[in-house]
Structure 1
Amino acid sequence: MTATIIITGANGSVAIPAVNHLLTKYPDYTAVLTVRNTENTDPNTKKLHETIAKFPNAQTSIRQLDLADLSAVHNFANTIATEISEKKLPPLASIVCNAYYWNLNGDSELTADGIEKTIQVNHISHVAIVLRLLGSFRPEGGRIILFTSNAHFPGKNSLEKYPPAIAVDLDALLHTTPFSDKLAGGMHIYANSKLAILMWGYALNRHLEKDEKLRNITAIIIDPGNLTDSRALRTNTPLFLRVVQRLVLQPLRPLIRLTDPSYRTAADAGIDVVDLATNNVHPGERGYLLTLKKEPSSPDSYNEDTQEKLWVKSAEWAKITKEDTAISII
Structure 2
Amino acid sequence: MTESIILTGANGSAAVHTVRYLLEQQPDKHLVLTVRDTSDSDVNTNLLRKVIAEYPGSKSTIRQLDLSSLAAVNSFAKTLAAEISRTELPPLKSIICNAFYWNLTKEKEKTSDGYEKTFQVNHIAHSALVLQLLSSFSPSGGRVVLFTSDAHWPGKNSLEKIPPAVPSDLDLLVKPPADDPENHMAKGFNRYAVSKLVILMWTYALNRHLEKDPTFAKITAVAINPGNMSDSRALRVNTPKMLQMMSKFFIQPMRPLLRLADPTMRTSSEAGIDVAKLAINEASPGSRGFFTLLKEDKSSPDSLDTNVQEAIWEKTLEWTGISNSNADIPA
Class of the TM-score when normalised by the shorter of the 2 chains: over 0.9
Please give the residue correspondences for 1:148-297 in structure 2 after superposition, counting only pairs within 5 Å: 148-176=148-176, 177-179=178-180, 180-297=182-299
Return the letter of the residue paired with 2:250. V
- Structure 2 equivalent of residue 47 of structure 1: 47
User: Quick one: percent identity of the two aligned structures?
Assistant: 54
Return the letter of the residue paired with 2:23. L
Q: Which moved more, 1:294-303 or 1:93-102?
A: 294-303
Structure 1 residue ranges without an equivalent (≥5): none
- Structure 2 equivalent of residue 5 of structure 1: 5
Aligned with 1:314 (options 308, 316, 324):
316
Supply the distance in 2 between the matched residues of 1:226 and 1:302 (Cα, whole angstroms): 23
1:78-97 CA distances to partner (integer Å, 9 max, x unpaired)?
00000000000000000000
User: Equivalent residue of 1:323, what SS?
Assistant: coil
Return the letter of the residue paired with 2:179. P
Return the letter of the residue paired with 2:160. E
Supply the distance in 2 between the matched residues of 1:289 and 1:326 (Cα, whole angstroms): 27
Supply the distance in 2 between the matched residues of 1:21 and 1:159 (Cα, whole angstroms): 31
User: Equivalent residue of 2:325, what SS?
Assistant: helix
Return the letter of the residue paired with 1:178. D
Supply the distance in 2 between the matched residues of 1:44 and 1:13 (Cα, whole angstroms): 9
CA RMSD of aligned residues (A): 0.8
When normalised by structure 1's length, the TM-score is 0.98
Shift of 1:167: 0.5
- Structure 2 equivalent of residue 135 of structure 1: 135
Supply the distance in 2 between the matched residues of 1:324 and 1:313 (Cα, whole angstroms): 16
User: Equivalent residue of 2:221, what SS?
Assistant: strand
Q: Which moved more, 1:174-183 or 1:42-51?
A: 174-183
- Structure 2 equivalent of residue 35 of structure 1: 35
Return the letter of the residue paired with 2:151. A
Runs of 4+ in 1 over 3 A off after TM superposition: none
Contact 1:211/1:327 (8 A) holds in 2: no
Contact 2:259/2:266 (8 A) holds in 1: yes
Shift of 1:226: 0.3
1:229-267 CA distances to partner (integer Å, 9 max, x unpaired)?
000000000011011111111111111112221000011
Supply the distance in 2 between the matched residues of 1:302 and 1:116 (Cα, whole angstroms): 25
Supply the distance in 2 between the matched residues of 1:161 and 1:17 (Cα, whole angstroms): 31
Supply the distance in 2 between the matched residues of 1:307 and 1:261 (Cα, whole angstroms): 29
Supply the distance in 1 between the matched residues of 2:268 and 2:223 (Cα, whole angstroms): 17
Shift of 1:324: 2.4
Contact 2:216/2:330 (8 A) holds in 1: no
When normalised by structure 2's length, the TM-score is 0.98
User: Equivalent residue of 1:257, what SS?
Assistant: helix
Shift of 1:319: 1.3
Contact 1:68/1:117 (8 A) holds in 2: yes
Supply the distance in 2 between the matched residues of 1:248 and 1:105 (Cα, whole angstroms): 21
Please give the residue correspondences for 1:71-82 in structure 2 after superposition, counting only pairs within 5 Å: 71-82=71-82
Supply the distance in 2 between the matched residues of 1:282 and 1:326 (Cα, whole angstroms): 27
Supply the distance in 2 between the matched residues of 1:104 and 1:123 (Cα, whole angstroms): 18
User: Equivalent residue of 1:58, what SS?
Assistant: coil
Supply the distance in 2 between the matched residues of 1:126 and 1:163 (Cα, whole angstroms): 24
Supply the distance in 1 between the matched residues of 2:14 and 2:7 (Cα, whole angstroms): 11
Supply the distance in 2 between the matched residues of 1:169 and 1:292 (Cα, whole angstroms): 34
Supply the distance in 2 between the matched residues of 1:120 and 1:75 (Cα, whole angstroms): 16
Supply the distance in 2 between the matched residues of 1:83 and 1:328 (Cα, whole angstroms): 22
Contact 1:34/1:64 (8 A) holds in 2: yes
- Structure 1 equivalent of residue 116 of structure 2: 116
* Number of positions where the alignment pairs a residue of Structure 1 with one of Structure 2: 329
Shift of 1:301: 0.1
Supply the distance in 1 between the matched residues of 2:37 and 2:213 (Cα, whole angstroms): 37
- Structure 1 equivalent of residue 62 of structure 2: 62
Supply the distance in 2 between the matched residues of 1:191 and 1:256 (Cα, whole angstroms): 22
Contact 1:131/1:324 (8 A) holds in 2: no
